[in-house]
Structure 1
């Protein structure tokens, strides 16, 4: 072979090398980071999809709880991870939109540092009270709060959480006052709610359904315009006189911003297939969670819209990042 042919052959081999070097995805176990303690709605959403998602992708999917700093610790871990699709985030709307709206995510931007893979669930919140309060409906609670200003304490998972912003929005619409008691996570909140140290709370159904059925909390209503199909005995917020409260809780899967487009699409396809499984949907429904896939584009639009909406609520209630 003359020198010219040899050079062309080597050049061709060199051009082929990068293609051959591309690793197959996934090449190792995938981690879904939950930036809050175990036992909450974000943790539930991650564990709901982990095993079946891993079966579809052909690699184990493990859930890692990394709480701290109002979820910033977990957010930062994923934002700074290698963007190859093996490090994912289960995003909670209260963090991705609510805390983002008040500047409560540190140096992390929930819109610029992550790309959505797809929405996992979209569920009305349960609005509950401690049984010691002499109320059985939301209108009764409003009347009691007006007659007893600042005597009711409500719990949240910190500034900017859906429990916090949602309750402040409800307070504004109802013209009532309640004392805010922030917690680090759902587990601590539930313990104090059961003990009666806080008397009012709203959250996604999974952490509350068993307590509701055991009589440890009293269900006042769900936060949507329609009744929850899994909890038909509870009135809707619209029936209680509060229509169009933007309080549904949603969870979505996110990847670091520089994840390759083909990897992102593979993950989106796998997530959509995972959420079509009837057994998974039934288990979620029994826990009070409504599985609802949304595309990356739809999730992005919702995230941006809710950030702007919660900015207005935070400004009105003078809510600032802790």
Structure 2
């Protein structure tokens, strides 16, 4: 097929293969010039490779430039470092982009939520640079650099301009961490001056959490360092129905990985009842990033039509539809 584009596919753990299978069915129904290159990552492949992130997988993403990824498990309090963190480091996927938008007919406390969380992906406490000083005493290092802070600030403002957004909020704790978060804010301010048409504000992280719960409509695009972004993106997902209905992307200069941001849900894995919405929405972002704008809109429209109908829901949203039934409905709506 002429101009065929390769997409690296990483199923992941738990329900990953099921939601990925559903998403690929939808993409194949579009009859796009895409070729899928399946690669491994996650806790379930450690026995095979001796690692949760095989070198071959990273190389495959570097070759294709784009990947679609299911959830991968991470052992709490031990085991190997996160495959997600490893992938972001090795591919320099410096920007995590998480749009959070209300889903038609999914009842939540707020209506018309429309937020964008931009998270710096390569440094800060979340990277997990830590060591034992003496038994009983552990030190974790929070590294913040001008380069990374400026780069993520520019990404946030440029994305806001591209999407026609009006405001960027820099999230911080510079009242306490005056040097590290202070440097992050300095970089955001400098970049913000290059975008005079976009309103700029600064919000302390704890106040942001309270304000989001009270009235999420006062925010638009929010940019923040790594650990804050991990927390706030999940909080925002809760405003629209949970992690099962929000997409995610990790974007670098040369590559991008689009992924479901929910967990592996081992309790329902293999039962055929997982909700593929998050990965489907991530594929919408992927198609748009690849320049397949019309096809991206078609999938988005099909999702909105199925949810707007209000009749078909998977178990996580109070319905009884199987993964296949939900996917069939999306394909029919195309």
Q: TM-score, normalised by structure 2?
A: 0.28
TM-score relative to the length of structure 1 = 0.29
Q: Which has the higher contact order (CA 8 A, sep 6+)?
A: 1
